[in-house]
Amino acid sequence: MTKPVLLTAALVALLAPAASRAADHHGSKDIVDTAIAAGSFKTLAAALQAAGLDETLKGVGPFTVFAPTDEAFARIPKADLDALLKDKRKLTKVLTYHVVPGRVKAKDVAKLTEARTVEGQSLKIDTSSGIKVGGASVVKADVEASNGVIHVIDSVLLPR
């Protein structure tokens, strides 16, 4: 198996609850479809597809996704973003750094100082002035999806 396949399998294993558990229906669409319907996550949706993670995030979950907007991705120099989108291993690492297992609502995030990502590293959480996750500001919290929750952030998080 290749590393991206193993990482995707690990992501599914980490995030998938028991097969018998039904999806949590807080929203009518899954995380990917909710993001696409919002209209401001085209780059994120394309990146998830390029990394092969779109189907995983359409799964049962639950997932918490810190979702950078198209504006956030536009702050990355075009050449760097193009290179990232072509490097599946690095792209998978960046995208899984935006996902936390479980359904973590804003009221729960506000009680934390860090959150372990699916990528393996932790994101620092600062609630001294609004909510900042890994240095990115949460600009919209608690966007409900059938399989988790999305918190919209204003920049792309890059793992070390």
Q: What is the pLDDT of residue 149?
A: 96
Band (pLDDT 50/70/90 cuts) for residue 88 is: very high
Please, are residues 30 and 145 in contact by the beta-carbon 8 Å criterion?
yes
Identify the CATH class of 3-153: mainly beta
Asked if residue 20 has pLDDT above 70, the reply is no
* Per-domain boundaries in the chain: 3-153
Token duo for residue 148: 């988790």
Q: Is the pTM value of this prediction over 0.95?
A: no
Instruction: Give 70: exposed, middle or buried? Use CB within 10 Å, 0-12, 13-18, 19+.
Output: middle
Asked if residue 126 has pLDDT above 60, the reply is yes
Please, are residues 49 and 132 in contact by the beta-carbon 8 Å criterion?
no
Please, are residues 9 and 41 in contact by the beta-carbon 8 Å criterion?
no
Identify residue 138 by its one-letter amino acid code: V
